[in-house]
Structure 1
Amino acid sequence: MRRQLAPTALTAAAVAGVVTFSLVASAPVGNAAARPSSAYAVSAEGQVPIAKTPYAESLDGKRQTTSALELPKNPLISVRAGTATAGNDSASVELFDIVIGPDILSQVKIPPELKQQCASLPKTGASDLPLPDLALPDLGLPGLPALSTKDLPVKNLPDLCNLLLTPPKSLLAIDSLNVWCSGDTGGIDVGSLTLLGQTVKVPTTRQGASLPSNPLASIKVNSQAKHADGAFTVTGLSINLAGAETINLASATCAKPAAKPKPTPKPPVDHPAPPQVNTPPAAPVPTPVKTHQAVTG
């Protein structure tokens, strides 16, 4: 049964130096000519780089598992728990309570004119009113370009008012994400996913599916790739934040460990024959001789 976990709300006030924390350490680099099986829970490239963490790698085919209870607080992403496992031609990742852009919209100060429009919405026909094009303040995520109200994923003015007056706790929240591979096959399982408070249906069974794009985030689901060295990789979610940051969640790579060289057989050893021992012939069995003894008396 899939675990249903409520997203964890974390503040966005932490410094962007997440890479200085010991948990976010550089992952080992494998031999490109003989890529080992490996797995990681979270990585990011852009204004806030995050190395692959937690990271597991199997160099000899033995099962290796690494877990993290929680990522350090940072302005980009939080994860309550993550486990990465790699073994002989197999790998898997489990993630729970992923939050991207925590409290991102709670920082937005609504312009007075928009507040007035929201307060005076008519009971009917409000959905036909045009969206105002108002500049949004800095949302607190490093690298995001300047955005306006028309960049938010809403369809009408009532949706915009609801989004800004009762902001969700995150830009993107996922309660669970599992990814696995075995040989050259694999798949993913995604729990409830919400984008700015709206539940989004995730097509987990289709390889390389994309969720509807918007100026804030574009999301790829179940990306799969076969490599020239025979390895196979499945990545659960790849999230692009307005072109400023790319986040990969739950990636598993399956590759057989490099074959161990066969031991060179030793040449046969000629053992000398044991020395012969001269055994004397057995003594003949004596033959009894019948004789007659003189009788006296």
Structure 2
Amino acid sequence: MRRQLRGRLTPTVLTAAAVAGVVTFSLVASAPAGNAAARPSSAYAVSAEGQVPIPKTPYAESPDGKRRTTSALELPQNPLISVRAGTATAGNDSASVELFDVVVGPDILSQVKVPPELKQQCSNLPKTGAEEVPLPDLALPDVGLPLPQLSTKDLPVKNLPDLCNLLLTPPKALLAIDSLNVWCSGDQGGVDIGTLTLLGQTVKLPSTKQGATLPAAPLATIKVNSQGKHSDGAFTITGLSIDLGGGAETINLASATCAKPAAKPKPVPEPANPAPAQVETPPSAPVPTPVKTHHPVTG
């Protein structure tokens, strides 16, 4: 039974600035691309490489220029990412992707067992001055995701009250996107991203100015609207590329490639002044030779 992931995420008291501290956003206008071999137009919704590989799902390809569309309501079972629905379309020098309710790292913090001493410390927070209490440096357990060994100091919190709220009322995902649409036509394309939340806090995407970034962080690096031309003339645009754990896992969301289909073989032209066809004349019948005979005389 597939999970319906669209809906509200548990809020936390994290500020947008604190949330920005665990992720890097960058807009790439000309990502490197190679491969001189000609390729057809294609599109896919989700793929992942690393400790948790996920094939391109759903995937559409148009080797002959005809429009092809494929959809998927769920991904292969994995602990890393889930979606509610995805559709990929490829055609004649065009491609597009629609994604809904993407969740990366579902219930990641709900798996963390809060130490009893920290629970006690959180329940006894003073009404004033709690912001000045130093953060405890506690190792976080492995939550089954390709992330480095983390501690409480790696989380996007500024003080002990923030940490208590994050661990005792954890959000439902590391990263969630309610919708993501990508399209390309020829060598141009665009990206439309709906609400994006990081650890339950809405994050405003950076400006589309080339090279826009937010501070680096240990959990994730996100590239937005990566575009690149290939040596065979194809053009690829990817909505979001998510790097977890410093390269341990790479997730690509909504990628479209536009490439003209292979040229059809040209018909062999006919000669400008074709020679007249030779018509065989059937042989004429021989002229009959008269035969002289004598008739008997009767009287």
- TM-based fold match above 0.5: yes
Question: Contact 2:36–2:230 (CA<8 Å) still a contact in 1?
Answer: no
Match of 1:259 in 2: 263
CA-CA distance at 1:66 after TM superposition = 0.9
CA-CA distance at 1:209 after TM superposition = 4.6
Distance 1:217 1:186, change over 3 A: same
Give the CA RMSD over aligned residues. Answer: 2.3
CA-CA distance at 1:265 after TM superposition = 0.4
TM-score (norm 2): 0.77
Question: Contact 2:52–2:78 (CA<8 Å) still a contact in 1?
Answer: no
Question: Contact 2:47–2:253 (CA<8 Å) still a contact in 1?
Answer: yes
CA-CA distance at 1:172 after TM superposition = 0.8
Question: Contact 1:5–1:176 (CA<8 Å) still a contact in 2?
Answer: no
CA-CA distance at 1:8 after TM superposition = 9.2
Question: Contact 1:208–1:220 (CA<8 Å) still a contact in 2?
Answer: no
- Residue 142 (structure 2) aligned to one of 138, 154, 157: 138
Name the amino acid aligned to 2:7: A
Match of 2:285 in 1: none
Question: Contact 2:60–2:88 (CA<8 Å) still a contact in 1?
Answer: yes
Name the amino acid aligned to 1:241: L
Name the amino acid aligned to 1:173: A
Higher relative contact order (CA 8 A, sep 6+): 2
Name the amino acid aligned to 1:120: N
Distance 1:229 1:240, change over 3 A: same
Match of 2:169 in 1: 166
Q: Does 1:123 pair with 2:124? A: no
C-alpha distance in 2 between matches for 1:272 and 1:137:
88
C-alpha distance in 2 between matches for 1:156 and 1:273:
99
Secondary structure (helix, strand or coil) at the match of 1:33 reads coil
Distance 1:230 1:207, change over 3 A: farther
C-alpha distance in 2 between matches for 1:197 and 1:70:
22
C-alpha distance in 1 between matches for 2:190 and 2:238:
9
The Cα offsets for residues 186-222 of structure 1, whole Å up to 9 and x where unpaired, read as: 1111111111111111237345654543211111111
Secondary structure (helix, strand or coil) at the match of 1:92 reads strand
- Gapped runs of 5+ residues in structure 2? 11-34, 280-299
Distance 1:236 1:77, change over 3 A: same
- Gapped runs of 5+ residues in structure 1? 10-30, 275-297
CA-CA distance at 1:130 after TM superposition = 2.0
* % same residue: 81
C-alpha distance in 1 between matches for 2:176 and 2:142:
20
Question: Contact 1:211–1:220 (CA<8 Å) still a contact in 2?
Answer: no
Distance 1:202 1:266, change over 3 A: same
TM-score (norm 1): 0.78
Secondary structure (helix, strand or coil) at the match of 1:74 reads coil
Match of 1:6 in 2: 7
CA-CA distance at 1:270 after TM superposition = 3.3
Secondary structure (helix, strand or coil) at the match of 1:106 reads helix
C-alpha distance in 1 between matches for 2:164 and 2:112:
12
Q: Does 1:33 pair with 2:37? A: yes
Q: Which is higher, the Rg of structure 1 or of structure 2? A: 1
Match of 1:197 in 2: 200
C-alpha distance in 1 between matches for 2:75 and 2:165:
31
Secondary structure (helix, strand or coil) at the match of 2:141 reads coil
C-alpha distance in 2 between matches for 1:43 and 1:211:
24
The Cα offsets for residues 13-56 of structure 1, whole Å up to 9 and x where unpaired, read as: xxxxxxxxxxxxxxxxxx95211111000000111111111111
C-alpha distance in 1 between matches for 2:186 and 2:211:
19
Residues paired across the two proteins, number:
249
- Residue 251 (structure 2) aligned to one of 217, 231, 247: 247
The Cα offsets for residues 138-188 of structure 1, whole Å up to 9 and x where unpaired, read as: 1122x3221100111222221111000000111111111001111111111
C-alpha distance in 1 between matches for 2:113 and 2:278:
100
- Residue 152 (structure 1) aligned to one of 155, 159, 171: 155
- Residue 218 (structure 1) aligned to one of 217, 221, 226: 221
Q: Does 1:112 pair with 2:116? A: yes
